[in-house]
Structure 1
Amino acid sequence: MLNEQTIQVIKSTVPVLEIHGTAITKRFYERLFTSHPELLNIFNHANQKQGRQQAALANAVYAAAVHIDKLEAIIPVVKQIAHKHRSLGVRPEHYPIVGEHLLGAIKEVLGDAATEEILQAWAEAYGVIADAFIGIEAQMYEQTEQQLGGWADFRAFKVDRKVKESDVITSFYLIPEDGKSIASFEPGQYISVRMSIPGEPNTHIRQYSLSDSPEKPYYRISVKQEVETRDKPAGHVSNYLHQEVKEGDVLWLSAPAGDFVLDQQDERPVVLISGGVGLTPMVSMLNTMVEKQPHRPVTFIHAAQHGKLHAMRESVEQLARIHPQLSAYWCYNQPTDLDKETNAHHREGYIDSKWLQSIVPTRDAGFYFCGPTPFMRAVNGILKEWGIPQSDIHFEFFGPASSLEPVGAEIG
Structure 2
Amino acid sequence: MLNENTIAIIKSTVPVLEVHGTAITKRFYQLLFASHPELMNVFNHANQRQGKQQTALANTVYAAALYIDKLETILPAVKQIAHKHRSLGITADQYPIVGQNLLQAIKEVLGDAATDEILNAWAEAYGVIANVFISVEAEMYKEAEEQQGGWAGYRAFRIERKVQESHVITSFYLVPEDGGAIAAFEPGQYVSVKMSIPDQKNTHIRQYSLSDAPGKPYYRISVKREDSQPGKDAGVVSVYLHEQVKEGDVLWLSAPAGDFTLDLKETRPVVLISGGVGLTPMVSMLNTLVDTNSDRPITFIHAAQNGQLHALKQQVEEKIGQAAQAKAYWCYAQPTEQDAGTYHKEGYVDLPWLQEVIPSKDAVYYFCGPTPFMAHINRQLLEWGVPAADIHYEFFGPKGSLDEAEKEPVA
Partner SS, residue 191 of structure 2: strand
Task: Answer yes or no: is the 8 Å Cα contact 1:67–1:74 preserved in 2.
Answer: yes
Task: Answer yes or no: is the 8 Å Cα contact 2:304–2:333 preserved in 1.
Answer: yes
* C-alpha distance in 1 between matches for 2:96 and 2:234: 34
Q: Which residue of 1 aligns with 2:15?
A: 15
User: 1:242-261 to 2 correspondence within 5 Å?
Assistant: 242-261=242-261
* C-alpha distance in 2 between matches for 1:233 and 1:191: 20
Of 198-207 and 264-273, more deviation after overlay is shown by 198-207
Q: Tell me, yes or no, if structure 1 residue 269 matches structure 2 residue 252.
A: no
Note the C-alpha offset of 1:408: 6.3
TM-score (norm 2): 0.97
Q: 2:402 aligns with which of 390, 400, 404?
A: 404
Q: Which residue of 2 aligns with 1:152?
A: 152
Deviations 1:277-304 (A, max 9, x none): 0000000000000011432110000001
Q: Which residue of 1 aligns with 2:391?
A: 393
Note the C-alpha offset of 1:409: 10
What is the identity, as a one-letter code, of the residue corresponding to 1:407? Answer: E
Note the C-alpha offset of 1:323: 1.9
Task: Answer yes or no: is the 8 Å Cα contact 1:209–1:281 preserved in 2.
Answer: yes
Q: Which residue of 2 aligns with 1:317?
A: 317
Q: 1:384 aligns with which of 368, 371, 382?
A: 382
Partner SS, residue 402 of structure 2: coil
What is the identity, as a one-letter code, of the residue corresponding to 2:54? Answer: Q
- Identity of matched residues, %: 68
User: 1:77-156 to 2 correspondence within 5 Å?
Assistant: 77-156=77-156
* C-alpha distance in 1 between matches for 2:293 and 2:224: 29
Q: Tell me, yes or no, if structure 1 residue 366 matches structure 2 residue 372.
A: no
Q: Which residue of 2 aligns with 1:346?
A: 344
Task: Answer yes or no: is the 8 Å Cα contact 2:187–2:261 preserved in 1.
Answer: yes
RMSD: 1.3
Task: Answer yes or no: is the 8 Å Cα contact 1:2–1:124 preserved in 2.
Answer: yes
**Per the alignment, do residues 357 and 411 of structure 1 end up closer, same or farther by CA in structure 2, a change over 3 Å counting?**
farther
What is the identity, as a one-letter code, of the residue corresponding to 1:357? Answer: Q
* C-alpha distance in 1 between matches for 2:179 and 2:234: 35
Task: Answer yes or no: is the 8 Å Cα contact 1:352–1:409 preserved in 2.
Answer: no
Task: Answer yes or no: is the 8 Å Cα contact 1:192–1:253 preserved in 2.
Answer: yes
* C-alpha distance in 1 between matches for 2:356 and 2:409: 17
What is the identity, as a one-letter code, of the residue corresponding to 1:360? Answer: I
Partner SS, residue 211 of structure 1: coil
Task: Answer yes or no: is the 8 Å Cα contact 2:209–2:281 preserved in 1.
Answer: yes
* C-alpha distance in 2 between matches for 1:399 and 1:320: 29
Task: Answer yes or no: is the 8 Å Cα contact 1:186–1:262 preserved in 2.
Answer: yes
Q: Which residue of 2 aligns with 1:65?
A: 65
Task: Answer yes or no: is the 8 Å Cα contact 1:334–1:349 preserved in 2.
Answer: yes
Deviations 1:362-391 (A, max 9, x none): 111110000000001111111111111111
Task: Answer yes or no: is the 8 Å Cα contact 2:84–2:258 preserved in 1.
Answer: yes
Q: Which residue of 1 aligns with 2:179?
A: 179
**Per the alignment, do residues 409 and 86 of structure 1 end up closer, same or farther by CA in structure 2, a change over 3 Å counting?**
closer
Task: Answer yes or no: is the 8 Å Cα contact 2:45–2:233 preserved in 1.
Answer: no
Q: Structure 1: which 4+ aligned runs deviate by more than 6 Å?
A: none
* C-alpha distance in 2 between matches for 1:317 and 1:146: 37
Partner SS, residue 384 of structure 1: helix
What is the identity, as a one-letter code, of the residue corresponding to 1:382? Answer: Q
TM-score (norm 1): 0.97
* C-alpha distance in 2 between matches for 1:128 and 1:380: 34
Q: Which residue of 1 aligns with 2:300?
A: 300
What is the identity, as a one-letter code, of the residue corresponding to 2:384? Answer: W
